[in-house]
Structure 1
Amino acid sequence: MISRRHALAMLTSLPAAPALAQPGTGPAGPGLFETGATTHSVTRHAFLSADGQRRYRVDMAMPKQRPPGRGWPSLYLLDGNAAFTILTPADLASVPNLALVAIGYETEQRFDNLARTFDYTPSWSGPPETPGRPEGGSAAFRELLLGDIRPRLERLGRLNPKKATIWGHSYGALFVMDTLRTDPDAFRTYVPVSPSLWWRDGAIAAAPFRSPRHSVRVALMVGDREARRTGGGAPPSLDDFAASIARVRALGESLAATPRLIVDVTVLPGQSHGGALTTSLPLALRIAAEDRP
């Protein structure tokens, strides 16, 4: 029997939803910065990478109420251009006491594939997974996030540094896992969705994870219609979908053996890789708003 300290809850009771296609990489369209919200004030901030090669667009949605004494709990969203296009004012209204920080890039596209590939992948030996897309910038991006972006916005928005959650999807989830591996106390809760466990033949899942000083929650998510397409060949089979779920569950079991990691795995019914991005966001809001690790 697994104690709460090493809890692993397989949550599969969400209502089924139709499979969604991979979100497009075209123009993002109007998002929360343009539409606004009745419960939150949305502001935009600019940051630059240390090497001057990547420009970040960071949108922050702050509750309009007076902040509590120790500041607001917060949710940091990677791929912020896409996240703040998908989330709606109604989503924000469901968490009136949660601050959101969407970290994107200076582009009108939903994703900046070159920048995110570099920022979200660890430095690992061997050639990049995708030719022409440099990798290995996660340490530098993490230093910018934790050393510049987060402290500045915490001061500006009265955010509670002890109640911070980070969400990421696909390569973004790879960065979330790498941060959990290297600096587990950086966030109180980690929400990696559809992590790219295939990257470098499963390197992130095989890497050792450090135990945090205090209890940390890890909310893994994966769609039940996910399988990596490598080009050509037959469409994914039910066995391919099952294998993807099994890899995420195995990762959850492994993480749950680490002291002070509280792990749960949620399987999102009917969701493809892209659909998991969309479906996971409202769930991440609720997780971040909860007052528990």
Structure 2
Amino acid sequence: MTENAFVLPGTVQFDLAPVSGGEPYRILLFVPKGEPPAEGWPLLLTTDGNATFPFAVSSLVTQAPYPSGTGIDWGVVAAIGYPGDEPYNAQRRAWDLGPPPIKSYPPYFEGGPPVRIGGTGELLAFIEMQLLPRLAQMVKLDIRRRSLFGHSFGGLFTLYALFERPGLFANWIAASPTIYWEGSEILNNETARQRVPGNTAFLHLSAGEFEGDHLAPFQHSNEDAAARLEKKKIERTVALALEMAERLDGSDDGIRTQFELFTGQTHMSVLGPAVNRAVSIAFAVAQEIEESHANAQ
């Protein structure tokens, strides 16, 4: 028997280093077969790419062949990951996805480097000035149909990017965003957010059912059950996301919002359903898009 590494069909990867310096990112890319639409392919860009890219590609390729039954058509998936085989790079994602102020925390493990946050502006600049132009050179994209997805710290980054560059993407999908982080500093970004006359943006906020006030059934017997419950009261993931959705919906800067609670999901298990929802938003067939806009008016 011959064993070969499995590769997701239609995908490539390449490393891209920021022109400002620093370690390269591992960019993962899926492009559909055939000619793009006249206006170009819609694009879904995800953070934590090593973890999210396989979910997104599998979701798309199993649904896009049947648009009349799924409401999903073809498009391009790109993901920002890191060199290596692990789903997460805790050290780098803390810096990339944790908004300012710049701060240092104790190492994740004894003898390790300090954990730094505050580099979201650098990652956002990399996306805007390097990654999106590079992708546009490789494949024809519809600049009116770009979507950004992030989960947890990635969801927090998505909110930061929306408030800083509201015209960069049409759809902003923030799953289980850590809004509580650093005393909910992101709310100051929300208040001082950039406003673009005539711009429209759709923000989808979500969380898992068991990110609220209750433990998942299997967690009740865990040794850390009491501590985990107390942590939930601090994080308030569901409540803070819902409050933001209600606060921003129909705001004077053209933001439409939707909040979704994923039944039966925890902070980590929600990743699959949340990525699937991002795919349905980013690659909705034209009729679905028109109906969504009509319902929002």
- After TM superposition, the score normalised by the length of structure 2 is 0.78
Which residue number in structure 1 is paired with residue 199 of structure 2? Answer: 214
CA-to-partner distance for each residue in 1:143-178, whole Å, 9 max, x for gaps? 111111111112211111111000000111111100
Deviation at 1:42, TM superposition (A): 1.2
Q: CA separation in 1, counterparts of 2:18 and 2:84? A: 15
Is 1:121 equivalent to 2:98 in the alignment? Answer: yes
**Letter in structure 2 aligned against 1:224:** E
Segment of structure 1 superposing worse, 254-263 or 137-146:
254-263
- Please point out which of 219, 228, 243 is paired with 1:250: 243
Is 1:196 equivalent to 2:181 in the alignment? Answer: no
Equivalent position SS for 2:274: helix
- Higher relative contact order, structure no. (Cα contacts within 8 Å, ≥ 6 residues apart): 1
Aligned residues: 257
**Letter in structure 2 aligned against 1:63:** P
Q: Which runs of 5+ in 2 are unaligned?
A: 65-72, 108-113, 216-223
Deviation at 1:118, TM superposition (A): 0.6
Equivalent position SS for 1:174: helix
Q: CA separation in 1, counterparts of 2:209 and 2:186? A: 21
- Please point out which of 221, 228, 240 is paired with 1:235: 228
For the pair shown, the structure with the greater C-alpha radius of gyration is: 2
**Letter in structure 2 aligned against 1:289:** F
Segment of structure 1 superposing worse, 205-214 or 245-254:
205-214
Q: CA separation in 2, counterparts of 1:158 and 1:88? A: 18
Which residue number in structure 2 is paired with residue 157 of structure 1? Answer: 139
8 Å contact kept, 2:180–2:237: no
CA-to-partner distance for each residue in 1:27-57, whole Å, 9 max, x for gaps? xxx99xx4323xxx21212101345332211
Q: CA separation in 2, counterparts of 1:276 and 1:63? A: 26
- Please point out which of 271, 279, 290 is paired with 2:265: 271
Which residue number in structure 1 is paired with residue 162 of structure 2? Answer: 180
Deviation at 1:198, TM superposition (A): 1.6
Q: CA separation in 2, counterparts of 1:136 and 1:255? A: 24
8 Å contact kept, 1:119–1:135: yes
8 Å contact kept, 1:54–1:115: no
8 Å contact kept, 2:59–2:279: no
Residues 218 and 64 from structure 1, CA distance in 2 versus in 1: closer, same or farther, beyond 3 angstroms? same
CA-to-partner distance for each residue in 1:189-213, whole Å, 9 max, x for gaps? 0001100112111110243233343
Residues 135 and 94 from structure 1, CA distance in 2 versus in 1: closer, same or farther, beyond 3 angstroms? same
Equivalent position SS for 1:201: helix
Is 1:62 equivalent to 2:31 in the alignment? Answer: yes
Segment of structure 1 superposing worse, 175-184 or 242-251:
242-251
- After TM superposition, the score normalised by the length of structure 1 is 0.79
Equivalent position SS for 1:63: coil
Quote the sequence identity (%): 22
Residues 70 and 254 from structure 1, CA distance in 2 versus in 1: closer, same or farther, beyond 3 angstroms? same
Is 1:223 equivalent to 2:223 in the alignment? Answer: no
Segment of structure 1 superposing worse, 164-173 or 133-142:
133-142
- Please point out which of 122, 126, 131 is paired with 1:140: 122
Which residue number in structure 2 is paired with residue 5 of structure 1? Answer: none
Q: Mapping of 1:48-87 within 5 angstroms? A: 48-87=17-56
Which residue number in structure 2 is paired with residue 23 of structure 1? Answer: none
Q: CA separation in 1, counterparts of 2:19 and 2:99? A: 17
Segment of structure 1 superposing worse, 244-253 or 48-57:
48-57
